[in-house]
Structure 1
Amino acid sequence: MRHPAELIAHTAGVVSRRLGRGGGTSLPGMVLLRLHPTAAGRLARQLTRGSVAISATNGKTTTARLVRSMVDAAGWPTVANTAGANLLSGVTTALLAASRESPSPTFGLFEVDEAALPAVSRQLRPRVVVLMNLFRDQLDRFGELESLVERWRTMVDELDPSTVLVANADDPAVAALAMRHDRVVLFGVDAADVARAELSHAADSTHCTSCNAPLAYDLITIGHLGWWRCDNCGLARPTPDVTVRAVQLRGAEGITLTVATPRGDVSAQMALPGLHNAYNAAAAVAVAEALELDLDLLGPALGTADAAFGRAERVTCGDRDLVLLLAKNPTGANENVRTVLLDPDPLDVIVSLNDRTADGQDVSWIWDVDYEPLFERLHSLTVSGIRAHDLALRFRYGGFPTDRIVVEPDPGRALDTAIAAAPPGGRVYSLPSYTALLDLRAVLVDRGLVPAFWEDE
């Protein structure tokens, strides 16, 4: 029998949409949880195949998209928070909406904010919990990484013994957490040809979680990820169960990779660019291992998965292409720069920065981004957003000529400027912070070029 609170919460979402106050992706869940605090757990128990909760600083949205492609191929009716509302309220909203569907979904797939994961895990009791990475994100959250590690440690210790923990062996903090649980599937990258020569200055977790000694690396991939070891206490990267053993980076066109699993190899040509998406693919394959999905489904599912909102999403703007590469922290921005540099043509780039709550009000992280390799390749540079002038200063002090920097805070005018600067048939790369991406997306929606985010299924 449907709980009366569910009807009230559903009505709140309908009213929100009709009044133009948003997509109703969180409000129904907020209302329902206020009236019935354990509602998410109650609704999740109706999922006969259980659920997966995926969390990370970078990559959770795309990984959820990849897993969705796999379970769709397996024919599993699935509920997911595809609109990106990744707090407990957003997950509850998705579950509430699914409870009204016929036939009802049998499986739940949720991307979850790092800080919200413990609460979501306690309510949903997921079949699989995925810990992908932890990077510094918002500088105004002092001690954020350490706090999250502590919260995740408590959550891991409270997991049901039947829950499978999928974890990144290449992230020292995440791997150490995984060692606390019995049922674990570890993933990582073993492709030495894409390794970095040294840690970037923006690397975060570079000390041993056991003894606090500096870590040594035999191979470095992204930020602090890689083949890590502590020469002081002997703690070291555990051997992954699922590993990317070969990957070819093809710039904005995507990647070609082979992922080794205990059941055999999975090969795919993906439309998603960058080494970070090789990690996302490995995480998705590791989830498939935990769910015991047919191995033959996985390669085609990876190959047909499209980009999530703002994550290597492509938009046609007249006779130019716009590529959206969300850049919300130093590690993510550096990987996007690395991807853009694989384009052999002169580069037309928009970098956009806001300082709203979801971005973090301390924007000094832009000084940790390695923008300089772009300079010799730039055909045009437009900086935009609330903190456009901070970006201009960053590029100026990096050595880029001031007279070549176009400062245009307005996202629509910035887009028009960059599109006009690109040659016919050319490509514009947009590297926005989170709310700057939302602002640009609103412009694209108004122009009829993309659907509203809550319609993007």
Structure 2
Amino acid sequence: MSFKSVIAKSAGKSSYWFLHNVLKGGTSFPGKLAMDLDPEILKTLAEGYETVIVTGTNGKTMTTALIVAALREKYGDVLTNPSGSNMQQGIVTAFLAHKKKKSSRPIAVLEVDEANVKMVTELLHPSVFVLTNIFRDQMDRYGEIYTTYDKIVEGIKLAPEATIIANGDASIFSSVDLPNHKIFYGFKLPSDEPQNDTKAPVNTDGILCPKCDHILHYHERIYANLGDFFCPNCNYHRPELTYSVNKIIEQTPNKLEFQMGKKDYTINIGGTYNIYNALAAYSVARYFDLSEDEIAQALAKNKRIFGRQELIKYEGKEIDLILVKNPVGLDEVLHMLNTEKDDYSLVTLLNANHADGIDTSWIWDGQFEDLNHDQIKKILVGGERWHDMGFRLEVAGFDPGKMVTCTDNEEVIANLTNLPTKKVYILSTYTAMLSLRKTMAEKKMIKAGM
């Protein structure tokens, strides 16, 4: 370790201690400080670790958490960045914060922003890339899905010996010829007509064949552009799956039960998209030699995490705080709400800051019209762009008399106790979620930080 690295590591660790023991927070600054002193400090910090990079549009945080939970069943100590601070400075902070313990196989599982894969790979030399999906997201920052994937591929090309564990149901992930060993996962649900020939709705992104630009067809479509795809023009098709979900047994907003191989698995969270996240975690765990029983045990005791279906109990209310950030993710959350059997209240918080994406037009692609309107007894509309969301819900057919506008977090929290239902679902963009959690922590509704 060079003198420069020693100084950078010491300064970063000291700032982390101060921020978390005196100021009670800070996920990026310690890493930024260390990087200012030594731009390649990550190379030093990551030495000796077998590193897994998890990237893609949706599901990074949950997939990372499930992978970590599974690997800890066998290896105990696993380094990760649980806050979702997934750019380079946040990743450096995760290494600075980690108190390394003895382990037979030192492993780091890192959520990495799509645009940061290349610069992180240059320093870490990962063993595994996990690719969740690619959807339109923050178009002002990422551009089209092909641009996003190009950024990821630039990083993968720097580590040709790494294994790629990718969602085989996403046509884009098998479209580029890479020398890496590949493991694909996806859905193989039983069908009465095994050779179904269907197409995705016309407004679905990513449904052109990446080889010839013909419209893709599907033997089975799970959601959005994910499924058993094939191109009738050039015969491009889904790669052979190594691991698959072959049966969905039960879905509610708080529980998923499904079958992989011949074994049933349960996770205490809702949404078909989370089955994909669990399948990705399963695939990584198998790569790291975990048994099916060890994986099932880890998935069954998974905990709700920071802002991703985080369950908050407050004055008799069961509040689910759910991050939404793009059309596909929003639609899947709305589909999940339709698995709710009880009446509930809905809270929508919309911001348009840089971390959210400054263009809010994506809310018009979410099918709020498909929600069971009678089941929703009251709606709170908040966030900096409350007027945009309120208008969207009115266009979707919701009675304005059911809707209450909240111009700040204090009003949101004050109105929570007056809602007529025990169950409350909060759909929030990223910065609105952070802001609400900060206010909740100040009011002792939740613990500060993670």
TM-score > 0.5, shorter chain as reference: yes
Partners of 2:200 and 2:221 within 8 A in 1: yes
Distance 2:416 2:297 in 1: 35
SS in 1 for 2:381: strand
**Aligned twin of 1:61:** 61
1:45 and 2:47 aligned: yes
Deviation of 1:364 after TM superposition, in Å, equals 0.7
Partners of 1:383 and 1:408 within 8 A in 2: yes
Moved more, 101-110 or 76-85: 101-110
1:84 and 2:80 aligned: no
Give the letter aligned to residue 4 of structure 1.
I
Distance 2:83 2:430 in 1: 14
1:113-136 CA-to-partner distances (Å, cap 9, x unmatched) read 111112212211111110111111
SS in 2 for 1:115: helix
1:442 and 2:435 aligned: no
Match of 2:408 among 410, 432, 441: 410
**Aligned twin of 2:329:** 332
Partners of 1:130 and 1:166 within 8 A in 2: yes
Distance 2:34 2:60 in 1: 25
1:214 and 2:212 aligned: no
**Aligned twin of 1:154:** 154
1:252 and 2:250 aligned: no
Count of aligned positions: 441
Deviation of 1:340 after TM superposition, in Å, equals 0.9
SS in 2 for 1:421: coil
Partners of 1:168 and 1:175 within 8 A in 2: no
Partners of 1:348 and 1:418 within 8 A in 2: no
1:12-58 CA-to-partner distances (Å, cap 9, x unmatched) read 333444663x62321121122222222212221222xx111101211
Partners of 1:165 and 1:181 within 8 A in 2: no
**Aligned twin of 1:199:** 200
1:387 and 2:385 aligned: yes
Deviation of 1:85 after TM superposition, in Å, equals 1.2
Partners of 1:121 and 1:155 within 8 A in 2: yes
Give the letter aligned to residue 388 of structure 1.
W
Deviation of 1:184 after TM superposition, in Å, equals 1.0
TM-score of the pair, normalised by structure 2? 0.92
**Aligned twin of 1:95:** 95
Moved more, 139-148 or 26-35: 139-148
SS in 2 for 1:165: strand
SS in 1 for 2:66: helix
Partners of 1:382 and 1:408 within 8 A in 2: yes
* Identity value in percent: 28
Match of 2:420 among 422, 428, 442: 422
Give the letter aligned to residue 389 of structure 1.
H
**Aligned twin of 1:223:** 224
**Aligned twin of 2:112:** 112
Deviation of 1:173 after TM superposition, in Å, equals 1.0
Change (3 A) 1:70 1:266: farther
Partners of 2:77 and 2:100 within 8 A in 1: no
Match of 2:11 among 3, 8, 33: 8
| Unmatched 5+ stretches in structure 1 | none
1:238-263 CA-to-partner distances (Å, cap 9, x unmatched) read 12111011113432221001123xxx
Moved more, 179-188 or 82-91: 179-188
Partners of 2:356 and 2:431 within 8 A in 1: yes
**Aligned twin of 1:28:** 30
SS in 2 for 1:236: coil
Change (3 A) 1:369 1:202: farther
Partners of 1:38 and 1:123 within 8 A in 2: yes
Give the letter aligned to residue 382 of structure 1.
L
Match of 1:358 among 355, 374, 377: 355
**Aligned twin of 2:295:** 298
Distance 1:236 1:243 in 2: 16
Moved more, 205-214 or 402-411: 402-411
Partners of 1:189 and 1:245 within 8 A in 2: yes
Partners of 1:202 and 1:330 within 8 A in 2: no
SS in 1 for 2:200: coil
Deviation of 1:200 after TM superposition, in Å, equals 4.6
SS in 2 for 1:305: coil
Change (3 A) 1:102 1:156: closer
Partners of 1:249 and 1:274 within 8 A in 2: no
Deviation of 1:102 after TM superposition, in Å, equals 4.9
> What pairs up with 1:136-151 in 2 under 5 angstroms?
136-141=136-141, 143-151=143-151
Change (3 A) 1:419 1:222: farther
**Aligned twin of 2:397:** 399
Give the letter aligned to residue 39 of structure 2.
P
SS in 2 for 1:420: coil
Moved more, 133-142 or 292-301: 133-142
Distance 1:292 1:125 in 2: 21
Deviation of 1:189 after TM superposition, in Å, equals 1.4
Deviation of 1:156 after TM superposition, in Å, equals 2.6
1:76-103 CA-to-partner distances (Å, cap 9, x unmatched) read 31111112211111111111233x5454
Distance 1:192 1:216 in 2: 18
Partners of 1:139 and 1:365 within 8 A in 2: no
Deviation of 1:341 after TM superposition, in Å, equals 1.1
TM-score of the pair, normalised by structure 1? 0.91
Partners of 1:419 and 1:428 within 8 A in 2: no
SS in 2 for 1:34: helix
Distance 1:320 1:17 in 2: 30
